[in-house]
Structure 1
Amino acid sequence: MSEIYRLAEPRDAERLVDIIYDAYITIRELKLQWPAAHADLALIEENIAKNACYVLEKDGQIAATLTLSKDSANRWNREYPFLKWFAVHPDAQGGGLGTKLLTWVEEAVIRDELGASAVTLATAEKHPWLLDMYERKGYERIDAIDRGNGDGTMYLLRKIVNPHLHAERIRQHRQGGSL
């Protein structure tokens, strides 16, 4: 049983359409206005081209995906890297693959490659289990907003991935520097 973490390539787009569409059924049922919930092939291809879309392959088949947004203009909080479009194919759910991919991106990419002290993501209060899941994984609520689009309260969550660096950045910020 092999597991490979890598950036998605254009040839992966069709498989990612299936994974994201199938994994986001609850999002569509809740009528949340999340682009990934209604993503077609063109939007998936655009996501791969414009962002850092990571995949976890298990035994040669993509089972999970997670995107690191490179579009700072559309991010809620520009202070830390922002994750989006997290999905595990329903056939692979419950086996820990999503947690493995999330942890790998947090550590190998966000902390080690980018040198960031923390990472953010957003989720809706009305989703029945996402907020609790992210909080169990060490994320904390740092902001809330209702954009009036029917999604209700959306939470921005942060996870500190390098406590020493984060403490240093906070110290510098308090002394008048920027985060």
Structure 2
Amino acid sequence: MADFRQATLEDAPALLDLSLRAYAPIRELGIHFAAATADLALVEKNVRENMCFLMEEEGKIISTISARMPWGPSPGPYGVPHLWWFASDPDTGRSGIGREMITWAEDAMIRDTLKSPAVSLGTADRHPWLIDMYKRRGYEIQGSNNLGKGHLTVYMKKILIPDMPGQGGH
């Protein structure tokens, strides 16, 4: 049974290890995500400045995702929580942990706790399957931007509370 919680600074070394192992294929693709080449200081900064969530099984961190807040130092583009730094342990031998992690973050934290009508994320246009995966999860492409990382960042948004007043549609 998996447990979910918010990360603390004490989790940073394990989160760094997880991130570097999970993002190895991203480095091989030449895509420049911050998490792919993170160091301990960057992980600690993420834990301090954002809502960094993790999933544990038998005391071991097996997945993580972070949400940058609209009022924080690195807001997303749409005034809603912005998911990033999503990683799952490639060595667990168990499929579906990433799906469990993102579903918990979207539903339990972003929708039910923060009462946010929507959530956004960004991914690389050059990644071979992430855009399609997020589309299957209900995200819609909103635009893109060249952030100088060697790829276009494709911004996507998912409506979590369809009838909330003031959500501004898609």
TM-score, normalising length: structure 1: 0.86
Unaligned runs of 5+ in 1: 175-179
Describe how 1:6-155 pairs up with structure 2 within 5 A. Answer: 6-70=5-69, 72-92=72-92, 95-151=95-151, 153-155=152-154
Question: If you compute each CA radius of gyration, which structure gives the higher value, 1 or 2?
Answer: 1
Aligned-residue offset at 1:48: 1.0
How many Å separate the matches in 2 of 1:6 and 1:147?
Answer: 31
Aligned with residue 166 of structure 2, among 159, 166, 169: 169
Alignment RMSD (CA, Å): 1.9
| 1:36 partner SS | helix
Cα drift, residue 10 of structure 1: 1.5
Percentage of pairs with the same residue: 39
Higher helix share: 1
The runs of at least 4 consecutive aligned structure 1 residues that moved more than 4 Å come to none
Gap change, CA 1:92 and 1:149, over 3 Å in 2: same
Report the count of equivalent residues.
168
The farther-off stretch of 23-32 and 134-143 is 23-32
> How big is each residue's C-alpha offset from its partner over 1:74-94, in whole Å with a ceiling of 9 and x where there is no partner?
334142110110000101365
Q: Output the CA distance in 2 between the equivalents of 1:6 and 1:68.
A: 13
For 1:76 and 1:56, locate their aligned partners in 2 and report how far apart those are by CA, in whole Å.
23
Higher alpha-carbon deviation: 21-30 or 48-57: 21-30
